[in-house]
Amino acid sequence: MRKIIFVTGNPHKVREAGDILSHVGITVEQNNCGYPELQENELEPIASFGARWAADKLDSEVMVDDSGLFIGALGGFPGPYSAYVFDTLGNERILKLMEGETNRRAVFKCVIGYCRPGEEPYLFSGEVAGEIANESRGSGGFGYDPIFAVGGMTFGEMVEEEKNRLSHRYAALSKFALWLKKGH
């Protein structure tokens, strides 16, 4: 089976990618070497740079995932800084920032960057629209999952299979898998 290295420190993402890509004959292997993250307002240049950097460093075909939660009432914050903001503030402080807000719309976005050594990267994106819940609910998932709701349920309240079918990452990984299936 063909192997693609997923450069991430998040085993949840690796498991989700492995489940989806196994259907097209791809094994996903995690590498936590990291990559320099550009300070950008959009996910695409971050994923593109990270994929190219990691492919050249590891001399292998790689994938990276840059994801973010874009909250309408907060001007798209935290966006590409979502991981840092989650580690620094956590869900409870995000909920505090949202107190009194009637516009609770938010979008989870994911960009998968794929690259082979010495080549240009390819990008695959997905997103899911939802809203910020009034309180943290559920113990499933990770990160912002307990405060991001779709159809009245947070990702944290959903079983993993249900969340994965709706998720921004699933949408991006499905596009990537389809592209790989076409012989790329």
Spatial distance between the Cα atoms of 33 and 129, rounded to a whole number of angstroms: 31
Active-site amino acid positions: 66
Q: Return the SS3 of 60.
A: coil
Beta-carbon contacts of residue 152 (< 8 Å; ≥ 6 apart) = none
Other Cβ atoms less than 10 A from the Cβ of 8: the count is 23
Query: Are 121 and 107 within 8 A, CB to CB?
Result: no
